[in-house]
Amino acid sequence: MKKLKLKEIIKLNEAKSILVSTPEYSTEELKEQLMKEFKRKTSDENLIWNTKFVLTEMIDNAIYHGNHLDTSKKIKINMAWKKNNFYFVVQDEGQGFNMKNPRRSPGPPESGLGIFYSKRKADLVYNFGDSASYVCINVPKNKLKTEATK
């Protein structure tokens, strides 16, 4: 499993992209679009739950910490499969941050917890000091849907 950059993810076969304004309330439709792509290749409930958890945290971070609830700003999600690895990138229009030390100071005491817990649910959670959060979920080959079950 490799830390792919955005330009590498975009070039993958069947890569998809979603661009939305920073939502004021619900992000359910946005999450469902990405989860539909993830579920295309696996039906493992634990992997689905973990992926949705991580996606929710990354979108919430983009909305609150990156775009500061500014509905004029956009969130972009790119996603793609590379063999049995599912990559997605959540970009906002913020200043960027260091994934290794995401805690904002000053900030609420829970700052950085979403990324901390996401790292426990995904195989890779990383960035390059920019305003994008990169996630890779590895789906073991025995958890992949076969062509007959798709």
C-alpha triplet 84, 86, 89: angle, nearest 5°? 160
How far apart CA 84 and CA 100 sit, in angstroms, is 26
How far apart CA 16 and CA 124 sit, in angstroms, is 20
C-alpha triplet 62, 22, 88: angle, nearest 5°? 50
pLDDT tens across 86-139, in order?
999 999 998 887 677 655 544 554 556 778 888 899 999 999 888 899 999 999
**What pLDDT shows up at residue 109?**
47
pLDDT tens across 6-65, in order?
999 999 988 999 888 887 667 887 888 899 999 999 999 999 999 999 999 999 888 888
Please name the residues in contact with 16: beta carbons below 8 A apart, sequence gap of 6 or more: 37, 78, 79, 80
How far apart CA 104 and CA 5 sit, in angstroms, is 24
Please name the residues in contact with 68: beta carbons below 8 A apart, sequence gap of 6 or more: 94
> Whole-model pTM?
0.86
**What pLDDT shows up at residue 139?**
95
Q: Which domains does the chain have, with CATH numbers?
A: 6-149 (3.30.565.10)
How far apart CA 125 and CA 127 sit, in angstroms, is 7
How far apart CA 69 and CA 86 sit, in angstroms, is 28
